[in-house]
Structure 1
Amino acid sequence: MKPTDSELEILHVLWANGPSTVRQVHEKLSQSRDIGYTTALKLMQIMHEKGFVSREEEGRSHTYTALVSEEDTQRNLVDRFVETAFRGSASKLVMQILGQHKASREELDEIKKLLNDLNRD
């Protein structure tokens, strides 16, 4: 199951800051967009039901922890995207990205290193 865009925003906060209360997540999200506290709370409750986060009850506050890793989530999202948008062709994805965006010298060097490392395996 893949997280929605809003759930992914919450996961980014949890990955960056570790276990957090709804209030802490809400404060972080509010810095970049208009979101109500009850909306954040409801999203996090749904994420708990879906198994994306765990919840510890401490009195009246609940602390949420991401149960899915950032790397696994990114891998799953990319795999699904490549499969659906590019019919499984990673090379078409890379060509589209490099054709649309100017990569920096550092990024190109990283890509070359990755390709070299893949060729060694």
Structure 2
Amino acid sequence: MRPLTRAEEDIMHLLWQRENARVAELIVDMPEPKPAYNTVSTIIRILEDKGFVGHEKAGRGFKYFALVDKSTYQKASMKKMVNSYYEGSFKNMVSFFVKEKNMSAKDLESILKDIDKTED
């Protein structure tokens, strides 16, 4: 799966929320300062080229929709990050967050409880 830029990810998040939208509808959902219509349209075309977005005719324009679901993208992104920064080890990643004080013992206990639930 090809990586996305921050701007591309922002648009994908909007499409995952809406399921489908015209460019103008996406712009309405974007924070201020709103990007230009042509900017969003260009990013949508790039996402289409990357295989993340499809479109369908809607009146005189198009409605766009995600071809890659959020869960699939999350899994691929996390795998890439763990492989790139933590030598492919989720243990190393968690250890990093604990050392940086971004995760407490209470957080770890909660994660272990969640793991126990999924193993049942």
Q: How many residue pairs are counted as aligned between the two chains?
A: 118
How far apart, in 1, do the equivalents of 2:33 and 2:85 lie?
28
CA distance 1:104–1:24, change in 2 (3 Å):
farther
Conservation of the 8 A alpha-carbon contact between 2:27 and 2:34: no
For structure 2, the residue ranges without an aligned partner over 5 or more in a row are none
Deviates further, 73-82 or 57-66: 57-66
* Structure 1 residue 103: Cα displacement: 5.0
**TM-score of the aligned structures, taking structure 2 as reference length:** 0.84
Distance 1:86 1:33, change over 3 A: farther
Q: Which stretches of structure 1, 4 residues or more, deviate above 6 A after TM superposition?
A: none
Residue 2 (structure 1) aligns with: 3
Give the equivalent residue in structure 1 for 2:26.
25
Partner of 2:57: 57
Match in the other structure for 1:11? 12
Distance change (3 Å), C-alpha of 1:85 and 1:45: same
Query: Aligned in 2, Cα 1:24/1:103: closer, same or farther, shift over 3 Å?
Result: farther
Identity across matched positions, percent? 25
- Per the normalisation by structure 1, the TM-score is 0.84
